[in-house]
């Protein structure tokens, strides 16, 4: 019975991914249906047409801060429902997400009509669809790699696994490294009583800070790469990353050794032990295909395609199709027994899918206001950003709760406009990388490092938490994570980074 349910779930999720990847082919065929209706209404580009009709060329300039209330409601739901109504939340989190989407979407569409529809479709097609396809493919492929054998989570072994994940994160992405290692990490420590702090440090290091060194590591850096930042320029952040990782690993070892000594009497007798071995290693080929597909989409230019009035690069749709193909190939090639022994289920990716569609849509007003710069409701905040440490902390603070990719891009453009006004991006970015490198380092580290500050700061955080809870490891609430771990552990490390580098 369990196998049939798992197979049906796999089939449904796969069909959904294939439908997403096939969307441009459907929507750009004869120009009928919703796409034709939208094109007829906007006659080309929806934003320009709607701006001409209604005078709202930049919606972020007229939106008030209270338009972000549905986003605040979404965050509070994620924070409070699991704490005060866990049974309700477990069964109805999708309905809660839909409620907040409606709370934002209905009045937004009523007042701004075509331009609101454009913004909603844009964030779904340009941001959410590639986001969830990438997460699904990495989750699916990594779930087919099983580490067998006797591996017991001593402080040194745990620290070594965290360090390995931190190193891998810059080259296969924070999501890829986190999904690859979280299950072996949890199994190695399944006999330990105190495991919550271990998963929190895993989120800090593997799911976030480890992705600092290349554009493959974290989405903000990939955006910088697309905007003419050299691929290997981010290696200049290595000293900042090294200091932060050293501090957090040292604190982790102190925690782990303390609890390990207290739990030593409960340590099981492993007997002779089973040799360590990997099964499903062919899935590393599919992981390589995922990384290659993401890199390809950033280095080629194949034009654009109009999907429901949203212009997206052809190579981005090709990338999404290849990611679906990699995930599907892993499902076909990997015996079900391996996934079953790996305790693989679809629940974590389904939870992320439902919650993040709510997060993406409700944060539209916040992002628009932020992108409006000094013409929007957050003008005072934007205008206050002058020194490198301003860029680090403000980029970071916003990245901890909003999507860190557009936050990075906002302050990246703020720096370009401040230091090289009137200069083209092609001319200005090399100067930003050299003459004003400290500012670009501050923006880059702020966007990546602060992704660890909350569960929604970076995509893999929520998935790691969900997998850990499925495996029986209790995880702190949304605010518990912030007040018990992020504030006392991350902020002092970031203060030291500020004092030394910014």
pLDDT at 28: 42
**Rg, C-alpha atoms of the chain:** 23
58 in any annotated domain: no
Residue 391: give the domain boundaries: 2-53+67-268+276-501
pLDDT above 60 (res 6): no
318 in any annotated domain: yes
Find the mean pLDDT for residues 199-211: 94
Length of the chain: 502
Q: How many domains does the chain have?
A: 1
32 in any annotated domain: yes
pLDDT above 80 (res 264): no
Find the mean pLDDT for residues 251-277: 75
pLDDT above 60 (res 84): yes
Residue (of 413, 435, 434, 433) closest to 424 by Cα position: 413
pTM: 0.76
pLDDT at 109: 92
Instruction: Decide if 185 contacts 166 (C-beta within 8 A).
Output: no
Structure tokens at 431: 């100067």
Cα–Cα dist 247/241, whole Å: 10
Token match 């420590």: residue? 189
263 in any annotated domain: yes
pLDDT at 266: 57
Find the mean pLDDT for residues 289-302: 86
Q: pLDDT tens-digit profile of 303-357?
A: 888 888 888 889 989 999 999 999 999 999 999 888 888 888 888 888 888 988 9
pLDDT at 13: 46
Token match 């860190």: residue? 404
Instruction: Name the residue with higher pLDDT: 105 or 403.
Output: 105
pLDDT above 90 (res 298): no
419 burial (CB, 10 Å; 0-12 / 13-18 / 19+) is middle
108 in any annotated domain: yes
60 in any annotated domain: no
Structure tokens at 111: 């007042």
Residue (of 235, 299, 16) closest to 135 by Cα position: 16
Residue (of 67, 61, 310, 287) closest to 175 by Cα position: 287
Instruction: Name the residue with higher pLDDT: 231 or 91.
Output: 91
Find the mean pLDDT for residues 236-241: 94
Nearest-10 crossing angle of helices 437-449, 491-501 = 170
Cα–Cα dist 65/72, whole Å: 11
Cα–Cα dist 348/352, whole Å: 6
pLDDT above 70 (res 38): no
Q: pLDDT tens-digit profile of 371-389?
A: 777 788 888 877 888 889 9
pLDDT cut 90: percent of the chain above it: 31
Q: pLDDT tens-digit profile of 429-484?
A: 888 888 889 999 999 999 999 999 988 888 788 889 888 988 888 999 888 999 99
101 in any annotated domain: yes
pLDDT cut 70: percent of the chain above it: 85
19 burial (CB, 10 Å; 0-12 / 13-18 / 19+) is exposed
Strand 310-313, strand 304-307: pairing? antiparallel
Lowest mean pLDDT among 115-119, 186-190, 421-425, 433-437: 421-425
Cα–Cα dist 254/256, whole Å: 6
43 in any annotated domain: yes
Identify the three-state secondary structure at position 274: coil
Beta bridge pairs of residue 278: 147
pLDDT at 460: 85
185 — pLDDT class (breaks 50, 70, 90): very high
pLDDT at 265: 63
pLDDT at 263: 77
pLDDT above 80 (res 182): yes
416 — pLDDT class (breaks 50, 70, 90): confident
Find the mean pLDDT for residues 179-189: 87
Token match 């939106």: residue? 63
Structure tokens at 102: 């409606």
Find the mean pLDDT for residues 228-247: 91
Q: pLDDT tens-digit profile of 137-177?
A: 888 988 888 877 667 878 899 999 999 999 989 887 888 88
pLDDT at 106: 93
Nearest-10 crossing angle of helices 425-434, 404-419 = 90
Mean pLDDT of the chain: 81
């Amino acid at each position: 019975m369990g196998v049939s349910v798992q197979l049906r779930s796999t089939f449904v999720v796969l069909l959904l991914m294939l439908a997403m990847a096939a969307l441009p082919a459907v929507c750009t065929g004869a120009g009928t249906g919703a796409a034709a209706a939208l094109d007829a209404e906007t006659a080309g580009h929806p934003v320009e047409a709607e701006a001409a009709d209604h005078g709202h060329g930049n919606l972020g300039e007229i939106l008030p801060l209270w338009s972000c209330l549905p986003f605040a409601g979404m965050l509070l739901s994620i924070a409070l429902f699991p704490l005060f109504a866990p049974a309700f939340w477990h069964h109805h989190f999708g309905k809660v997400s839909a409620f907040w989407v409606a709370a934002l979407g209905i009045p937004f569409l009523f007042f701004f009509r075509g331009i609101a529809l454009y913004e909603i479709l844009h964030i779904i097609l340009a941001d959410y669809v590639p986001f969830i396809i990438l997460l699904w493919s990495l989750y699916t492929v990594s779930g087919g790699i099983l580490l067998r054998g006797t591996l017991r989570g001593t402080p040194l072994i745990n620290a070594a696994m965290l360090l390995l994940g931190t190193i891998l994160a810059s080259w296969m992405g924070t999501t890829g490294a986190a999904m690859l290692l979280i299950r072996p990490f949890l199994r190695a420590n399944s006999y330990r009583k105190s495991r919550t702090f271990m998963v929190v440090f895993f989120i800090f290091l593997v799911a976030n800070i480890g992705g600092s060194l290349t554009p493959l590591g974290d989405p903000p850096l990939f955006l910088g790469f697309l905007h003419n930042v050299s691929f290997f320029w981010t290696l200049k952040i290595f000293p900042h990353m090294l200091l932060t990782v050293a501090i957090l690993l040292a604190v982790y070892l102190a925690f782990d050794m303390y609890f390990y000594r207290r739990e030593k009497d409960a340590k099981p007798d492993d007997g002779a032990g089973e040799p360590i071995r990997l099964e499903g290693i062919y899935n590393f080929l599919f992981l390589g295909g995922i990384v290659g597909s993401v890199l390809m989409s950033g280095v080629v230019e194949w034009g654009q395609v109009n999907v429901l009035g949203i212009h997206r690069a052809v190579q981005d749709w090709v990338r999404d199709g290849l990611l679906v193909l990699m995930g599907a190939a892993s499902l076909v090639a990997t015996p079900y027994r391996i996934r079953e022994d790996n305790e693989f289920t679809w629940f974590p990716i389904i939870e992320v899918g439902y919650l993040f569609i709510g997060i993406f849509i409700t944060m539209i007003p916040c992002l628009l206001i932020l992108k409006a710069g000094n013409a929007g409701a957050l003008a005072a905040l934007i205008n206050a950003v002058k020194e490198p440490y301003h860029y680090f902390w403000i980029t970071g603070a916003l990245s901890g709760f909003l999507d860190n990719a557009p936050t990075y891009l906002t302050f990246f453009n703020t720096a370009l406009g401040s230091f090289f006004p009137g200069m083209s991006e092609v001319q200005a970015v090399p100067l930003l990388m050299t003459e004003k490198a400290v500012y670009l380092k501050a923006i880059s580290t702020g966007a990546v490092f602060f992704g660890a500050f909350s569960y929604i700061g970076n995509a893999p955080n929520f998935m790691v938490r969900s997998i850990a809870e499925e495996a029986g490891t209790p995880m702190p609430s949304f605010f518990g994570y912030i007040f018990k771990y992020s504030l006392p552990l991350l902020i002092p490390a970031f203060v030291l980074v500020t004092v030394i580098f910014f």
